[in-house]
Amino acid sequence: MKDYTRNNILYKRLLDAAGNDKLPVLDNKTFESMNAEYGKEEMRKNLADYIATERPVFPLKDISEDDMRDSFNSLKNFNTNSICTPKDQVE
């Protein structure tokens, strides 16, 4: 992150919003307020710094092996022609 200096106040606010899993949870109002106060670019850089430093546990959805197998088979049988157009058919 070129030309980045951690905003310790913003970083502490992210820490304070985090639970035991270190994942900061902000409601929409708080997030928008912080964006307005610090700016989107500073929020983005500080959030990236927070994630890289604190390594929060991200809430991943558990997927069973059967669901994974079904999804894979559906994808394997998916006809990509319905969403892709060969280059030679584009005007």
Q: CA–CA distance from 22 to each of 1, 37, 79 (Å)?
A: 22, 23, 41
Identify the DSSP state of 18. Answer: B
User: Residue-wise over 47-68: b if at least 16 C-beta within 10 A, else e?
Assistant: eebbeeebeeeeeeeeeeeeee
The reply to whether 60 falls in a domain is: yes
The reply to whether 64 falls in a domain is: yes
Q: Which domain holds residue 41?
A: 1-84
Domain count for the chain, please give it.
1
Query: pLDDT digit string (tens) for 69-83?
Result: 999 999 999 988 878
Query: pLDDT digit string (tens) for 23-45?
Result: 999 999 999 999 999 999 999 99
The reply to whether 89 falls in a domain is: no
> Is this model's pTM higher than 0.85 or not?
no
